[in-house]
Amino acid sequence: TQAGRIANHSWIGGFENPEVSSDALRRVDWIIETDEFLNLVGTSNNASASNQPLFSSAFNVLSVGKTDGSAMGSTAVDSLYGAGRVVPHVVTPLSTTSSGTGFVSSITALLIEAAHSDTSLSHGSKANRAGDTLYHAEYASVLKAMLMAGADRRTSN
């Protein structure tokens, strides 16, 4: 079990064996779905380089890129984690995706604090495996939707 609510993965990578990468992606998707433990993940800094599968190819993460980059898409790992899904989900004007991922993680922490302290924003709650009460407004899918919906569609940097 995890007592934390968010993870900041300001790095990219992958395993030489695609089965190991696939297993890691399945595990991160499971922990997000089971415990509402949102993972914010970086993508490649270089738009011309191929993106690495960990963890931006997972389904339930929120991937972060740079505004001066281009959407690279997910990296093919296996039949479930295929190529071509939209990655990154949000971008920041910072010089590296590592910095941008930390920036979005801090915004997410503020959203979690607001959702947890103002229960009127939710219509119910559940307990995670650690026994923590989680309100609807602080679920991983809701946080991801809020961050994506609140993003500017056009940037100027």
Dist. CA 103–CA 152, nearest whole Å: 16
The pLDDT score that the predictor gives to residue 99 is 95
The pLDDT score that the predictor gives to residue 48 is 64
Residue with tokens 């191929």: 50
pLDDT digits (tens, 9 = 90+) for 24-43: 999 999 999 999 999 999 99
Using an 8 Å Cβ cutoff, are 61 and 41 in contact? yes
pLDDT confidence bin for 100, thresholds 50/70/90: very high
pTM tops 0.85, yes or no: yes
Residue 119 has pLDDT above 70, yes or no: yes
Token pair, residue 47, equals 């738009």
Token pair, residue 37, equals 């433990």
φ/ψ region of 46 (left if φ > 0, alpha if ψ in -120 to 50, else beta) reads: beta
CA atoms within 13 A on the CB side of 18: 9
